[in-house]
Structure 1
């Protein structure tokens, strides 16, 4: 399913970031109390259309791109079972287990996808920056491999449509905390390369008014840092550590 059609129809090359959503982030509205509550928005209407299909799915791949340049990243939600599924998929090189989003429940955490005891599995692939040509190849390659792994297509069909080689190895980043903007004055104090590593604990990395955030440990990984959508309550970056697989 093509998810946020209304936002896509508003796309303006002169202001590309403004078409990310119409009223709110479509990937923060998947809790029952939000979906079935009284609130209304363009994104909620679309989520309510998609909800029956999502709830009927056993396996789900949510395909995204990012506001800032970054290597492709497989977001496995909060569950190790999804990271194991990503290892079977084999792509991309970097996997992520995080702590969820304070702004709302994501699609890959809805229902059984977020329950460690459920056999339902969900992955979210961040393919690269929105307008990078390489992100298209990552999206199609990941989808083809997902369809093959789940038995929907045969070996020959998949082999003739994959676009990228498998990485030589995969690494897991486990997020320990998120940094959330308190105001529109939020800004970073260090270079913000996606999946960049800050070597020393205690390094100041971001500031919002009197609040200064420092790295809590050595070799802290900056996961999807961005100031493209700064407003109170938005996650600006997540901090994590590489773990052996």
Structure 2
């Protein structure tokens, strides 16, 4: 990174000597009671699929064109995207050109959803958005989400444009995520309904769907991940619908609604991923995703004896996890993509 003498980024994690009492972990705060305004959709008509792959509805247009894939239910308790795909299927949306596939990735996880414990339904056995590396998919290990990813892989490998529909547990500004490949970053700039595009290098804990080499290698295929808003809110469904329509509207001959024409205005690049090293990781305030802290060196969190501080001015917090477990991503720091790098 090119910086002047007064611009050098600070280290993200600063270890400090502390008196004994300061080393005691902060008291554990009870988890909030989540607001659940949505119920899972009835996807029974689509579970068998129509192309030989369960949960995949595939349609061919009369004219040549790209293969567009919309994916929902990578996480079973994030079913706003499944509601969108279910509504479009019931409306008999079909492509005029190219190919269109709607995927319900992990309906078995959604079947576990209980509004009294809504976090539980995220997965059956493991996070399905960390299993997409070719080595993992080709390995011998068996698990529900991994086996399901292998079943879906033929569709993924033919996708020209893929939109992975998600939502967020903690409050934050909706955003569209891409990897660093040019095609993915350009696709992110065209998705409607969100104001912020963020590019990053993925997660150290495993390969996301959008990071599969089909999309992460420099080539024509592109994939983005939409964080449409907070889980279980109707506004999240509306935003996901805007994003999907901005992607499939041209191939289906559908006008994009005026409310969905807004595209990302902020183009951000993740520079640092903060992982909780202890079970005592605590933010100093209930930060909101998308919040920009103006001054470098701002204290963000404590992780045992470490202080977590912003490394530069105008640092954006990407999806802070206000209660991270040890070894999990707590927050990512991002700056404007036009900044020197």
CA distance in 1, matches of 2:263, 2:126: 38
> Which structure has the highest helix share of the two?
1
Secondary structure, aligned partner of 1:70:
coil
1:145 to 216, 224, 246: 246
Q: Is the 8 A contact 1:72 1:127 kept in 2?
A: yes
2:336 aligned with 1:242, yes or no?
yes
Query: Residue 233 in 1 paired to residue 327 in 2?
Result: yes
Residue matched to 2:4 = none
| Residue 221, structure 1, aligned to residue 316, structure 2 | yes
Any unmatched runs of 5+ in structure 2? 1-102
SS in 2 for 1:176: strand
| RMSD, matched Cα | 1.9
Contact map agreement 1:77 1:97 (CA 8 A) in 2? yes
Report the Cα distance in structure 2 between the residues aligned to 1:126 and 1:164, rounded to whole angstroms: 18
Contact 1:102 1:233 in 2 (8 A): no
Judge conservation of contact 1:7–1:19 (CA < 8 Å) in 2.
Answer: yes
Q: What CA distance in whole angstroms lies between the structure 2 residues aligned with 1:170 and 1:185?
A: 36
Tell me which moved more, 80-89 or 163-172.
Answer: 163-172
**1:96-126 deviation digits (Å, cap 9, x = unpaired):** 001210111111111230012x111111111
Question: Aligned-pair distance for 1:219?
Answer: 1.2
Q: How far is the alpha carbon of 1:163 from its aligned partner? A: 7.2
Who is 1:133 aligned against?
234
Residues 87 and 168 of structure 1: CA distance in aligned 2, closer, same or farther (over 3 Å):
closer
Q: Where does the alignment leave 5 or more consecutive residues of structure 1 unmatched?
A: none
The 5-angstrom pairing of residues 124-203 of structure 1 reads 124-149=225-250, 151=251, 153-154=252-253, 157-159=254-256, 162=257, 164-167=259-262, 170-203=265-298
Which structure: larger Rg? 2
1:19-69 Cα shifts (integer Å, max 9, x gaps): 112222111110011112122222112111111111121211111111112
User: Shift of residue 196 of structure 1?
Assistant: 0.5
Taking structure 2 as the reference length, what is the TM-score of the superposition?
Answer: 0.66
SS across alignment from 1:185:
coil
Could you say if the C-alpha distance between residues 236 and 29 of structure 1 is closer, same or farther in structure 2, counting changes exceeding 3 Å? same
> Secondary structure of 2:296's match?
coil
Aligned length: 237
